[in-house]
DNA sequence: TTGTTTTAGTAAAGCGCTTTACTAGGCGCA
DNA sequence: TGCGCCTAGTAAAGCGCTTTACTAAAACAA
């Protein structure tokens, strides 16, 4: 039924084994192994013999059985990557960075996506360790069990002993976004906060609050909405969510001239909702996102956002994981990555806030007027 | 240096082996193995003993060494996925579908991305097979060597003997897009074609051409641009590319009232370029994309496009690969997936084409006018 | 000539698990 | 009492490779 039960299968993998090669060459498997691995203890073997072995290996296209090798050597050159969701831009970009480094060093990786399910978040790392991964990279994943292999977390949720963290300076990111709006002259700003319980969210929000304090801007609860507030764990963020929340925000009738969104996806959804309601961006409402996803620069209007260098973060994760694998003494540490404000077209100074001016009064009238 | 050379490592994986367990239980490894695997030949072992074994396994958190197991059983429950580029929306969505099915069945997968480099396209499948993957899924990847494990190609480039193909009915997709524009009344249509040499491109283009013939629309070379024409193999498609080509198209001064783009990314870029040049979409130019990427519905204007059910295609790929692995007799086949036209806001009837009407005359004047 | 090194390898154990063929003891039955 | 059969396991080979300790022969030195 399975391949394994069809022995006549000449063409399949590793028909040609070390032993076969040895017999063909009239040498012992040991010798062949030593030569092929260029082992230092093969130094007593004359070059002529070495060449003979290598030629035979070539001829028969000998490929060592990876699994057998592991059994003796205890190395798998494999690591595990745990992400919330592959199809999401965030994880995909980080993975892309991870992959670069990993493949360069001869490592392969397994990917698992847990979609926020806590049971899978606990289960998958175990399964990966069963497969003898030499390390783990957790992307934006709230894992609280302790891991016994070197681990690196990208955007960690909380702190785990012994885990290297690659963290965006969210505090600064939040600050930058708010500063930008403040300097443009916005006073009444609406906010999309991230899901609670993640370090990202907390620290980004702190940055926003501190900047708000500094620039004398009030953070109004009625203008602050929590994304992904329902489930304890993050669904991938979608434009839909931003769309819905933005529409609700308009319905409350509260006035605001700008929206500071937790990420680009929700910003994109929000812009859609604002436009549908008849507002112009940025004339009526400025919107700033977070992440700088691939399409941000091609939105209409182009999205002002805080760039997160996700690919570089992935690379950094892979790099420091490999370091830790190669050298057990390397201490886990915190790597802080700096965000960058990218000003595009979705933000501008607010319309002057005088009676009769076109400052936004979001309300059913406004909607109806359209 | 490596983990393997630090034997005192109690907490690490598989300190507790079958043998250890057997000694602890005063049983032979054979017995323990039989019980743990619920092997049929364990039927002569009394339930009491079985329970004892299971309890001990539980107690010591025994986890069989996956690699050792493979060595006897010849199963790896691992497959390889080859994609052009992870960060791209296309591959990420397909992968997401693949993953669903695979993990459900206890399979893991390696991902490699070749970024269009032909050497890697040849190299990676070998490396994957060295790792004893039981099958391969090629996503949108031009591989021409014959593979010795069951293989499924999603959007295959050309036909490989023995490879199951998951193909979008591109012919129909092309037809749908053109038919839509034609029925709206467009006569002068610009086209972005995909990179040459891919079956996707050819057949989609054929669909376009046939529909054009049917509806009496002329396909003008001067309005037809080839995406990714430079390199023989696909770079991931970006909005940039569409932006550039659209800008060039405007510069030629050729008149057109609609653009049929090869994919959403290039459509998004093109819309950006048109807007920058002062045109309104769809009043001045209608644009239809292809793929229906996540943000398509949130573009401004919302993008009319032909939906490719990528996630489902990924699922189908995984499913039929698993079938072929489980049953060597399953013949490779062609699975045709149907595209769907999603009409949104980026298309409308063209402005009436009379003298003095606002029909687009793309030219330097038009650009200057802005 | 004898002893010492060097050369050119090899034998064999071991990695952790699976699996098949086998056995020792107990029991029923004629 | 003897035979076969069932029960409860076990022994041992094998998966393909690595590695260390060892050896036989040749080359060299004194």
**Predicted TM-score (pTM) of this structure:** 0.87
The confidence score (pLDDT) of residue B61 equals 94
CB contact under 8 A, A113 and B96: yes
SS3 content of chain A, % helix, strand, coil (to 5): 45, 15, 45
Helices A47-59 and A18-25 cross at an angle (nearest 10°) of 120
Q: Please tell me if residue A13 touches chain B, with a CB cutoff of 8 Å.
A: yes
Chain A residues near residue B294 by CB distance under 8 angstroms: 87, 238-239
Distance of alpha carbon A345 from alpha carbon A287, whole angstroms: 9
Whether B299 contacts chain A with CB within 8 A: yes
Interatomic CA–C1' length for residue B31 and nucleotide C22, angstroms = 14
Cβ <8 Å between B299 and A294: no
Give the pLDDT of chain B (370 residues) as one tens digit per residue.
333 333 333 334 458 999 999 999 999 999 999 999 999 988 889 999 999 999 999 999 999 999 999 999 889 999 999 999 898 778 999 999 999 999 999 999 999 999 989 999 999 999 999 999 999 999 999 898 888 999 999 998 888 889 999 999 999 999 999 999 999 999 999 999 988 877 788 899 999 999 999 999 999 999 999 987 544 444 567 888 999 999 999 999 999 999 999 999 899 999 999 999 999 999 999 999 999 988 898 888 999 999 999 999 999 999 999 999 999 888 888 999 999 999 999 999 998 744 333 444 444 344 444 3
Query: Does residue B102 sit at the A interface (CB-CB below 8 Å)?
Result: no
pLDDT given for residue B145 in this prediction: 85
SS3 A178: helix
Closest residue to D8 (CA to C1') is B45
Whether the Cβ atoms of residue B140 and residue B172 lie closer than 8 Å to each other: no
Q: Which residue of A has its CA nearest to B314?
A: A87
Q: Which residue of A has its CA nearest to B85?
A: A96
- Arithmetic mean of pLDDT, A264-282: 94
CA B217 to chain CA centroid, Å, is 32
Element (H, E) at B199: helix B199-214
The predicted-structure confidence for A197-209, as pLDDT tens digits, reads as follows: 777 888 999 999 9
CA of residue A327 to C1' of nucleotide C16, angstroms: 26
According to the model, what pLDDT value does residue A349 have?
97
Select the more confidently predicted residue: A300 or A364. Answer: A300
Inter-chain touch A96–B110, beta carbons under 8 Å: no
Interface of A with B in 118-147 (CB under 8 A): 127, 129-132, 134
Q: What is the nearest CA distance from B271 to chain A, expressed in angstroms?
A: 9
Task: Note whether B239 contacts A297, CB cutoff 8 Å.
Answer: yes
Interchain contact, B294 vs A110, CB within 8 Å: no
CB contact under 8 A, B2 and A326: yes
Look up tokens 């086949």; give the residue.
B333
CA distances from B364 to A250, B252, B287 (A): 41, 9, 21
Quick one: pLDDT band at residue A367, thresholds 50, 70, 90? very low
Q: Closest residue to D20 by CA to C1' distance?
A: A41
Element (H, E) at A153: strand A151-154
End-to-end CA distance of chain A: 66
Tens of pLDDT along A197-250?
777 888 999 999 999 999 999 999 999 999 875 444 445 678 889 999 999 999
Prior bond of B261 cis (ω within 30°):
no
């Amino acid at each position: 039924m399975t391949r394994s039960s069809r022995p006549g299968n000449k063409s399949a993998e590793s028909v040609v084994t070390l032993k076969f090669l040895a017999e063909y060459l009239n040498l012992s498997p040991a010798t062949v192994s030593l030569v092929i691995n260029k082992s230092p203890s093969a130094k007593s073997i004359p070059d002529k013999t070495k060449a003979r072995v290598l030629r035979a290996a070539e001829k028969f296209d000998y490929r060592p059985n990876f699994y057998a090798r592991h059994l003796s050597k205890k190395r798998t050159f494999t690591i595990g990557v745990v992400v919330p969701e592959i199809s999401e831009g965030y994880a995909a970009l980080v993975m892309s960075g991870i992959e670069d480094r990993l493949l360069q060093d001869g490592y392969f990786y397994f990917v698992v996506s847990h979609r926020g399910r806590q049971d899978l978040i606990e289960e998958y790392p175990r399964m990966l360790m069963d497969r003898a991964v030499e390390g783990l990279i957790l992307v934006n994943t709230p894992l609280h069990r302790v891991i016994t292999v070197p681990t690196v977390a990208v955007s960690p949720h909380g702190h785990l002993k012994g885990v290297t963290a690659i963290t965006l300076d969210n505090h600064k990111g939040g600050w930058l976004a708010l500063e930008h709006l403040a300097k443009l002259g916005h006073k009444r700003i609406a906010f999309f906060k991230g899901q609670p319980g993640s370090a990202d969210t907390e620290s980004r929000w702190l940055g926003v609050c501190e900047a708000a304090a500094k620039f004398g801007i009030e953070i109004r609860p009625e203008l602050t909405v929590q994304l992904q507030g329902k489930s304890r764990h993050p669904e991938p963020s979608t434009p839909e969510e931003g769309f819905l929340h933005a529409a609700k925000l308009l319905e409350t009738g509260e006035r605001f001239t700008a929206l500071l969104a937790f990420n680009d996806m929700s910003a994109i959804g929000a812009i859609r909702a604002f436009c549908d309601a008849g507002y112009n961006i940025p004339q009526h409402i400025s919107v700033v996102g977070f992440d700088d996803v691939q399409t941000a620069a091609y939105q209409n209007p182009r999205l002002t956002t805080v760039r997160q260098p996700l690919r570089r973060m992935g690379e950094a994760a892979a790099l420091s994981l490999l370091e830790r694998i190669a050298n057990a003494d390397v201490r886990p540490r915190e790597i802080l990555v700096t965000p960058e404000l990218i000003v595009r077209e979705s933000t501008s100074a607010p319309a002057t806030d005088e009676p009769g001016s076109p400052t936004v009064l979001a309300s059913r009238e406004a909607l109806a007027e359209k």
